[in-house]
């Protein structure tokens, strides 16, 4: 390992250089800068982690896997890097349809919000923001994150989850609206829909949910920011500070609870810093030292479309037969995240992933176009795709969001038909 410890920093420099040149070209902070910034920070965290490993890799770190990972990850970024959203003149919409959308997501989120709030407050009354025992029992018993909800609350939460991107886009569009279009009841319903996302992330013990929608919110903010007045920007910063501070505290509580539980149940020597940094940057090294070395025979019966979508999400097939599809050492490590490129390599191999990345880049470079004026549906479509490279440093972001992957394009099409 020691002879290769400089390679992770070389790889991180690729992302830093890409960020530098892109920012130099744009001379503005836009969505592309946010995406490249996330990758650069993650790669730097990964470089530190590779020199402070918790789990050793199956193979040594080498240069070629990093080059492959950088090239095809950057390829997935290109459709959104091409978008000069900082030069957009205006973002418009059919205000009546927007009101209907806000009312709809608010009503859908109401019961899940109440049940999430009750579950959260019950935990607080018992002296715990995050119940690690309940979290562990949920996985041991193979329960859904909504195990504590009523049948109706569970169904509505699933719908609300699939509309999370729409909710966030509506939130930032709402701040852009003229005061005459900002009504009290709509503000309350929109707050409920957004707060429900946060509460669901807390109650499920998922740092991924918290981080995903915080960083997605930052991305969407920069799509709208040039249209906000100084007063609105100040208000957003205050609200954002409260939500961000709360989320950071909750993220820390969840991380500390899970770290303490793992430390008690494991003989592995690790520090809290190692564990937190691993969450931010372990994926790059996992791809290099583990995922890259999977052979075709190791991929047998490992198909996340079948396992996560057709079986777990849409329930259209029976539970696939369990087959030991990886070498034994990798099977244990597979609980860790191997980047979006690694997710596909793990399931379908390097050649398929490379070709698929080229096709996706070409297709979405055509679909996502620069325009002087965007509609709400355009922003939702951009966010829908941007979420992939934005969270790509960790995993394929829709792997556990099958309904969101399916429903969001349908919502985009409906909004376009309604000229919204």
Predicted confidence at residue 87, as pLDDT, reads 87
What's the angle, vertex CA 46, arms to CA 340 and CA 246, rounded to 5?
80
Please say whether the beta carbons of 60 and 1 come within 8 A. Answer: yes
Tell me, yes or no, whether 121 lies in a domain: yes
Considering only CA atoms, which of 259, 289, 290 is closest in space to residue 274?
259
Instruction: Verify that 221 and 125 share a domain, yes or no.
Output: yes
Residues 249 and 100 in one domain: yes
> For the chain, how many structural domains are there in total?
2
Tell me the C-alpha distance between 332 and 389, whole Å. Answer: 26
The answer to whether residues 259 and 282 belong to one domain is: no
Return the structure tokens found at 366: 């055509």
Helix (H) or strand (E) holding 374, with range, is strand 373-375
Q: Is 73 exposed, middle or buried (0-12, 13-18, 19+ CB in 10 A)?
A: buried
**Domain final residue pick, 203, 230, 265:** 265
Among the candidates 265, 300, 316, a domain finishes at 265
Tokens encoding 214: 């915080």
Q: What is the pLDDT of residue 337?
A: 81
Residues 131 and 238 in one domain: yes
Domain with 53, as residue range(s), is 2-82+269-367
Task: Give the model's pLDDT for residue 332.
Answer: 45
- Among the listed residues 25, 176, 90, 173, the one whose alpha carbon sits nearest the alpha carbon of residue 371: 90
Cβ atoms 40, 15 nearer than 8 A: yes
What backbone phi and psi angles, to 5 degrees, belong to 401? -125, 55
Q: Residue 386 falls within a domain, yes or no?
A: no
What lies within 8 Å, CB to CB, of 206 at 6+ separation is: 145
My answer on whether 102 and 209 are in the same domain is yes
Q: How far apart are CA 376 and CA 419, in angstroms?
A: 9
Token pair belonging to 411: 């919502």
State the Cα–Cα distance between residues 390 and 32, nearest whole angstrom. Answer: 9
The alpha-carbon radius of gyration of the chain (Å, integer) is 22
Question: Does residue 298 share a domain with residue 230?
Answer: no
CA distance linking residue 147 with residue 138, whole number of Å: 8
| Same domain flag for 133 and 259 | yes
C-alpha–C-alpha distance, residues 390 and 223, integer Å: 14
Q: Please report whether residue 391 resides in a domain.
A: no
Q: Which residues contact 235 (CB under 8 A, 6 or more apart)?
A: 175
Packing angle of the helix pair 339-348, 350-367 (nearest 10 deg): 130
The reply to whether 68 falls in a domain is yes
Instruction: Provide φ and ψ at 400, rounded to 5°.
Output: -105, 10
Q: Which residues contact 311 (CB under 8 A, 6 or more apart)?
A: 317, 318, 319, 320
Q: Are residues 237 and 199 in the same domain?
A: yes
Q: Using CA atoms, how far apart are residues 91 and 121, in angstroms rounded to an integer?
A: 39
What are the start-end ranges of the H helices in 271-401?
A: 272-289, 304, 328-333, 339-348, 350-367, 376-390
Distance, CA of 416 to CA of 420 (rounded, Å): 6
The pLDDT value given to residue 124: 77
Evaluate whether residue 345 is within a structural domain: yes
288 shares a domain with 255? no
Structure tokens at 185: 């009841």
pLDDT score for 147? 82
Do 211 and 152 sit in the same domain of this protein?
yes
Q: What is the pLDDT of residue 295?
A: 74
The packing angle between helices 184-203 and 164-176, to 10°, is 140
Inside any domain, residue 355: yes
Asked whether residue 398 is domain-assigned, the answer is no
The last residue of one of the domains, among 240, 265, 290, is: 265
**131 and 211 part of one domain:** yes
Per residue of the chain (420 residues), what is the pLDDT tens digit? 455 578 999 999 999 999 999 999 988 889 999 999 999 999 999 999 999 888 788 888 999 999 999 999 999 999 999 998 888 899 999 999 999 999 999 999 999 999 999 988 887 777 665 555 555 555 555 667 788 899 999 999 999 999 999 999 999 999 888 877 777 899 999 999 999 998 888 887 667 788 888 899 999 999 998 888 888 888 888 887 887 777 777 666 666 666 555 555 554 556 777 877 888 899 999 999 988 988 765 554 466 666 666 666 666 666 666 555 555 555 544 456 889 999 888 888 899 999 999 999 999 999 999 999 999 999 999 999 999 999 999 989 998 888 999 999 999 999 999 998
Structural domain includes residue 353: yes
Say yes or no: 169 and 23 in one domain.
no
């Amino acid at each position: 390992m020691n002879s290769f410890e400089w390679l992770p920093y070389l790889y991180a420099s690729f992302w830093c250089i890409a960020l530098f040149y892109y920012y130099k070209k744009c001379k503005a902070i836009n969505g592309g800068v946010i995406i490249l910034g996330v990758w650069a920070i993650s790669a730097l965290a990964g470089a530190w982690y590779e020199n402070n490993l918790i789990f050793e890799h199956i193979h040594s770190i080498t240069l070629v896997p990093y080059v492959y990972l950088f090239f095809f990850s950057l390829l997935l970024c290109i459709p959104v890097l091409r978008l000069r959203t900082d030069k957009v003149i205006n973002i418009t919409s059919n205000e009546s349809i927007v009101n209907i959308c806000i009312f709809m997501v608010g009503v859908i989120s109401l019961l899940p919000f109440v049940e999430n709030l009750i579950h959260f407050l019950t935990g607080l009354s018992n002296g715990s923001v995050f119940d690690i025992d309940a979290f562990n029992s949920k996985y041991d018993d193979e329960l859904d994150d909504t195990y504590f909800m009523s049948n109706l609350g569970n169904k509505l939460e699933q719908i609300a989850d699939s509309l999370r991107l729409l909710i966030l886009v509506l939130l930032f569009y709402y701040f852009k609206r003229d005061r005459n279009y900002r009504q009290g009841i709509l503000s309350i319903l929109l707050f409920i829909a957004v707060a429900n996302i946060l509460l669901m992330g807390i109650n499920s013990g998922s740092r991924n949910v918290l981080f995903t929608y915080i960083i997605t919110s930052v991305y969407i903010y920069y799509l709208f920011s040039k249209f906000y007045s100084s007063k609105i920007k100040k208000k957003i910063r205050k609200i954002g500070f409260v939500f961000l501070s709360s989320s950071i505290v909750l993220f820390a509580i969840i991380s500390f609870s899970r770290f303490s539980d793992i430390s008690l149940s494991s003989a592995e020597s690790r520090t809290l810093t190692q564990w937190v940094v691993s969450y931010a940057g372990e994926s790059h090294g996992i791809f290099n030292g583990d995922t890259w070395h999977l052979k075709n025979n190791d991929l047998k019966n490992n198909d996340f479309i079948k396992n996560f979508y057709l079986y777990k999400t849409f329930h259209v097939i029976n539970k696939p037969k369990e087959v030991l599809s990886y070498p034994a050492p990798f099977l244990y490590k597979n609980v860790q995240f191997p980047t979006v490129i690694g997710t596909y390599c793990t399931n379908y191999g390097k050649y398929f992933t490379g070709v698929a990345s080229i096709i996706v880049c070409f297709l979405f470079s055509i679909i996502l176009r620069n325009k002087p004026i965007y509609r709400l549906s355009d922003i939702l479509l951009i966010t829908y795709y941007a979420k992939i490279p934005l969270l790509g440093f960790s995993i394929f972001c829709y792997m556990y969001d099958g309904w969101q992957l399916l429903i969001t394009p349908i919502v985009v099409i409906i909004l376009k038909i309604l000229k919204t």
